[in-house]
Structures are given as C-alpha cells and as structure tokens.
C-alpha cells in the first residue's frame, strides 16, 4: 500500500435502475430545469420503436420536444454542429439522449457546444470549457460504453481523417442516467456482443492502470463477474435478468474507469477507428493480447480477476491464476464467436508502424501499468494480426 497516495472518487450523476424506470424521465428532466427538450438518438433506435415510451412519458409530463435522430456511428464535428443548430432554432434548453455510445457522445457534445459556442474542437482535452453544458438526461439502449455516467466523450474530427478527439470535464457527466433493461429487448445480438466486449474491456483495463485503487478494483471486479456470467444469455436469449445485469455491469465498469482511467487497449483501438472498425470490436480483439503483455506487471490483478471469473482452481499459484484469467477471456470469445484477429481486408498490416505511433501518443499509454514504447505496441498489433486460434 502506498501510504503517501490520496485518491479521489466522485460521481455526480444520479442513477436510476429498474424495469420501466424510463417513466422517471419526465420528472427528472423537469428537476434539471428543462422546458423544451432536444431528444438525441439514431435512426435504428427510432425505427425499432424504442423511443416511443420516452415520448409518451415526456408528453404526459407536459414537456415539448424535438427529435434529432441523424446520429451515425462515430459521430463527428458536423453532426454536433447540426444538432446545436436544431437545438437553438427550436428553443430547446436541455438534452435527453436515448441510444448507444454514438448518440450519447453526440448528445453530450451538443449540450457542451450549445452552452459555450465556437467549434467542438475547441474543447478537446480536459476542462477546456468555461460554461457547464446544458442539462443532460442519458438513457442507454445498449450495454457497452457506459457513457451515461462518464465525464468524457469522443467526437471524430473529419478534418484530421476522423481522428477521435477526447473531451473531458467534470460537468460533462450527465445529470441523470436512467437504466431500464426493457429498452434492450430489441438490441440485435451482434451489437449486444460488441457493446458487451467494450464494457468488459473497460472493467479489465481499469484494474491494470497506475491510477487504480481498492475502490475502483472492487467495482471493476463486480463488472467483470457480471459480464462473464451474462453476456451470452443477454445477447442470444430473451432473458431479461441477464440483460439487466449486463446493463448494470456496463455502467459500473465505466464508473470504475472514470476514476482509474484506461490503458493500452484503448490507446491501440483509437487508430483502428479511422478504418471504421467498431470500437467494441477493436477492443475485444485487442484485449487478450494486451492482457498477455501486461502479465509481468499485473499478475496480482489478473489473479484476482480469475477468482471472479470462476476460473481459478484450488492449488493454483498467483501466476497460474493470472494466466487462467487470460484463458477465460479467450474461452468467452470462443463461446460468443468473437473474432480473434484484426481483419487484413479492413486494416492493412502495412499500417502497423503508423498505428503504433498514433497509439503511443494517446494519453492512456501513460496509465498502463506495464510501460510500452512504439516497438512493444507494434509487436502487440503483430500478434493481433496473427490471431490466437491456431
């Protein structure tokens, strides 16, 4: 234990969890001072009818709204500008987001830019704004990003080849998060799996950073346990209990990494986004390779993971339990039919050097417990092209 260390843990977001908790959205929006609401979502959520109960709740509360559903995957600066223009033109003074990671990031960006003006690029980095964002109520419809409780969000900058900007600030936490498992019933299995691997990566990575604490490790361990137990049933069956536990796991995984930060997986997945490889897909592919790389520095952490993964056997020493944790993740990936290698036809192998340089410049690298330079990162990419199913 480091007796000189003082750590901080805060979570300003009010979190509601439970079946039909979406019914609280109107009252919570009013508590935030919203009078007319911009609903930020995407066309998939809209067409699946997931937005319908929200509209009914807002109408029953006497709240007017406009809908902005033009959110693509990996939203960029132009989408944020378009959302702000609609918000101002229609006189909205608050944002309710219903959707997955892309609407959550876009909606948080719209709320920040509407309050501060200029370009969303002006706020890249930490605490770059002067005025807190407009109030935000976040309602996730996937169980992955956990952005509904995060101080950070990511916006792609089209002028820099869709470079993913990270924008972070204490006031960027949504005011309210509403976790309703019933909203996950129409989520396609493929998307459930990709989102779930994003959440598992958050939970595992945050334990292997130099910012991790007993508190964040405890939270992350519970997220790992829930995801390993529920992801398959949540994705491929109608088991509402599994979907609910997976939703909770994704939220608490982000609560942990909000304080303990992330590591090499997220640094290395960032350049893969410029090839339009889905964030959760990139994270899930890279995760076991980074776990293997981190073994020398994270044996104790991985050993603890093996316990909650139910893969530690009597008589195993710490090193064997740590390796069992890596094996358990690979076994899970086999079970859910997740790819084990980067797709050559999407991300050319000739790009390894360029991607390693970009990854090395990402802030997550400095948090990873085992130090890595450009050569080490390139070697992990090499392994990820080779695959472990051989």
Which DSSP string corresponds to 18-49?
Answer: STTGGGGHHHHHHHTT-SEEEEE-BHHHHHTT
Q: Is the pLDDT of residue 110 over 80?
A: yes
Same domain flag for 253 and 178? no
* Residue 6 is assigned to a structural domain of this protein: no
Average pLDDT, the chain: 95
Spell out the residues 6+ positions from residue 360 whose beta carbon is closer than 8 angstroms to its own. Answer: 267, 372, 373, 374, 377
> 184, 216, 246: which is the final residue of a domain?
184
6-15, 84-93, 225-234, 369-378, range with the lowest pLDDT: 6-15
Q: What is the pLDDT of residues 58-86, one digit of tens each?
A: 999 999 999 999 999 889 999 999 999 99
Same domain flag for 44 and 162? yes
Q: What is the mean pLDDT of residues 331-356?
A: 95
Check residue 69 and give its pLDDT: 96
Same domain flag for 133 and 229? no
Instruction: Give the span between the Cα atoms of 191 and 172, in whole angstroms.
Output: 26
Which residue has 């600030």 as its token pair? Answer: 169
137: left (phi over 0), alpha (psi -120 to 50) or beta: beta
Tell me the CB-side half-sphere exposure of residue 201, using CA atoms within 13 A.
30
Same domain flag for 165 and 26? yes
Tell me how many domains the chain contains.
2
Q: What is the pLDDT of residues 130-161, one digit of tens each?
A: 999 999 999 999 999 999 999 999 999 988 87
Same domain flag for 161 and 218? no
Q: Is the pLDDT of residue 186 over 60?
A: yes
pLDDT confidence tier of residue 5, bands split at 50, 70 and 90: low
Q: Is the pLDDT of residue 115 over 90?
A: yes
Q: Is the pLDDT of residue 7 over 90?
A: no
> 184, 200, 231: which is the final residue of a domain?
184
Residue 67, helix vs strand vs coil:
strand
* Residue 31 is assigned to a structural domain of this protein: yes
Same domain flag for 71 and 124? yes
CATH number for position 366? 1.20.1090.10
Same domain flag for 158 and 252? no
CATH number for position 57? 3.40.50.1970
Contact between residue 318 and residue 300 where contact means Cβ atoms under 8 Å apart: yes
Check residue 209 and give its pLDDT: 97
Pairing of strands 163-168, 125-126: parallel
* Residue 265 is assigned to a structural domain of this protein: yes
* Residue 282 is assigned to a structural domain of this protein: yes
214: left (phi over 0), alpha (psi -120 to 50) or beta: alpha
| Domain that residue 323 falls in | 189-386
> 184, 205, 237: which is the final residue of a domain?
184
DSSP string, 334-357: HHTT---S--TTTS-GGGHHHHHH
Backbone angles phi and psi of 75, in degrees to 5 = -60, 145
Same domain flag for 135 and 177? yes
Q: Which helix H or strand E contains 178, and what residues bound it?
A: strand 176-179
Determine what percent of the chain is predicted with pLDDT higher than 70: 98
Check residue 276 and give its pLDDT: 84
pTM for the predicted model, two decimal places:
0.93
Determine what percent of the chain is predicted with pLDDT higher than 90: 91
301-305, 322-326, 346-350, range with the lowest pLDDT: 346-350
């Amino acid at each position: 234990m480091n007796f000189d260390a003082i750590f901080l843990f805060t979570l300003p977001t009010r979190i509601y969890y439970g079946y039909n908790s979406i019914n609280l959205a109107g009252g919570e929006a009013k508590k935030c001072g919203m009078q007319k609401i911009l609903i930020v979502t995407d066309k998939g959520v809209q067409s699946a009818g997931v937005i319908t109960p929200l509209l009914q709740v807002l109408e029953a509360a006497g709240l007017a709204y406009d809908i902005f559903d033009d959110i693509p995957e990996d939203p960029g600066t132009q989408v944020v500008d378009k959302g702000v223009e609609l918000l101002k033109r229609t006189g909205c003074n608050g944002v309710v987001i219903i959707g997955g990671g892309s609407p959550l990031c876009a909606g948080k960006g719209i709320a920040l830019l509407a309050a501060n003006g200029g370009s969303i690029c002006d706020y890249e980095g930490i605490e770059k704004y002067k005025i807190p964002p407009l109030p935000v109520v976040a309602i996730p419809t996937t169980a992955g990003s956990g952005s509904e409780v995060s101080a950070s969000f990511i916006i792609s900058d089209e002028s820099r080849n869709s470079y993913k900007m990270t924008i972070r600030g204490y006031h960027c936490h949504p005011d309210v998060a509403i976790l309703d498992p019933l909203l996950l019933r129409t989520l396609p299995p493929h998307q459930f799996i990709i989102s779930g691997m994003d959440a598992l990566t958050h939970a595992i990575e945050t334990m292997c950073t130099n910012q991790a604490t007993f508190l964040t490790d405890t939270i992350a361990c519970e997220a790992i346990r829930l995801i390993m137990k529920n992801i398959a049933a949540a994705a491929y069956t109608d088991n509402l209990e599994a979907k609910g536990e997976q939703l909770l796991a994704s939220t608490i995984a982000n609560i942990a990494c909000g304080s303990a930060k992330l590591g090499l997986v997220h640094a290395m997945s960032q350049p893969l986004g410029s090839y339009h490889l889905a964030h959760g897909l990139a994270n899930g592919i890279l995760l076991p390779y980074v776990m293997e790389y981190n073994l020398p520095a994270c044996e104790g952490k991985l050993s603890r993971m093996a316990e909650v993964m139910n893969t530690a056997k009597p008589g195993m020493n710490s090193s064997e339990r740590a390796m069992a944790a890596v094996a358990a993740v690979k076994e899970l990936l086999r079970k859910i039919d997740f790819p084990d290698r980067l797709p050559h036809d999407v991300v050319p192998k000739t790009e390894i050097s360029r991607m390693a340089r970009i990854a090395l410049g990402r802030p997550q690298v400095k948090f990873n417990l085992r130090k890595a330079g450009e050569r080490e990162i390139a070697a992990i990419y090499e392994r990820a092209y080779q695959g472990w199913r051989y």
